[in-house]
């Protein structure tokens, strides 16, 4: 059992500090969807901070609230200062999306137009999750001379064109 106990306190947004190692990023579209959710339903999932005002989870929500003109808000605070390792782990675990969509329920019990309005297309996400991501390969060639490199340049260019054509077909 953990010795941590969390409680809620009101804090000034201006006093909160970004966690420098926060690896989470979102697109503008995702930002806009979070903003729309906060505007419609309020702040349901409160940000959480360490005792020194370092944000552990809720960076995007705090940015949105700040842009919406909020000055103070409720945050979750631990009863003791978390170590650097605990902050890293909690930040990672909080941001790691471990759940999956049940695509049968989404397809049969939700309106696609609603899903698209509420967030990114989950059916497109399913497609992205099941298709392997092909990246353009990085290759290094070594030649004994400039002339040898020039002799093979057309083959390298052709391989690159073939890869690009293959990628267009996959899309």
Q: How many domains does the chain have?
A: 2
What's residue 125's pLDDT?
59
| Residues found in the chain | 171
- State how far the Cα of 137 lies from the Cα of 143, in Å rounded to an integer: 19
- State how far the Cα of 30 lies from the Cα of 65, in Å rounded to an integer: 15
Q: Is residue 118 part of a domain?
A: no
Q: Is residue 50 part of a domain?
A: yes
Q: Is residue 20 part of a domain?
A: yes
What's residue 142's pLDDT?
79
User: Do 89 and 19 contact (CB within 8 A), yes or no?
Assistant: no
Question: What tens digit of pLDDT does each residue of 88-146 get?
Answer: 999 888 877 656 667 777 777 778 777 777 775 666 655 555 555 556 566 677 778 88
Which range of residues forms the domain containing residue 95?
6-99
163-171 own/partner pairs: CB under 8 Å, 24+ apart? 163/136, 163/137, 167/134, 167/136, 170/131, 170/134
- State how far the Cα of 6 lies from the Cα of 55, in Å rounded to an integer: 14
Q: Is the pLDDT of residue 64 over 90?
A: yes
Q: Is residue 110 part of a domain?
A: no
Say yes or no: 10 and 89 in one domain.
yes
Sign of CA pseudo-dihedral 93, 133, 131, 121: positive
CATH code of the domain containing 46: 3.90.1530.10
Q: Select the more confidently predicted residue: 167 or 170.
A: 167
What's residue 158's pLDDT?
74
């Amino acid at each position: 059992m953990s010795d941590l106990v969390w409680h809620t306190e009101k804090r000034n947004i201006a006093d909160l500090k970004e966690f420098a190692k926060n690896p989470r990023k979102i697109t503008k579209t995702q930002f806009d969807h979070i903003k729309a959710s906060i505007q419609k339903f309020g702040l349901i999932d409160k940000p959480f901070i360490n005792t020194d005002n370092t944000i552990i989870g809720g960076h995007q929500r705090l940015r949105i609230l700040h842009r919406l003109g909020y000055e103070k808000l409720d945050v979750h605070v631990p009863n003791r200062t978390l170590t650097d390792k605990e902050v890293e782990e909690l930040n990672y675990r909080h941001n790691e999306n471990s759940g999956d969509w049940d695509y049968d329920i989404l397809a049969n019990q939700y309106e696609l137009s609603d899903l698209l309005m509420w967030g990114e297309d989950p059916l497109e996400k399913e497609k992205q999750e099941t298709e392997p991501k092909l990246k353009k390969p990085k290759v290094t060639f070594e030649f004994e001379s400039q002339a040898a490199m020039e002799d093979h340049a057309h083959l390298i260019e052709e391989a690159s064109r073939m890869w690009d054509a293959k990628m267009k077909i996959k899309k």
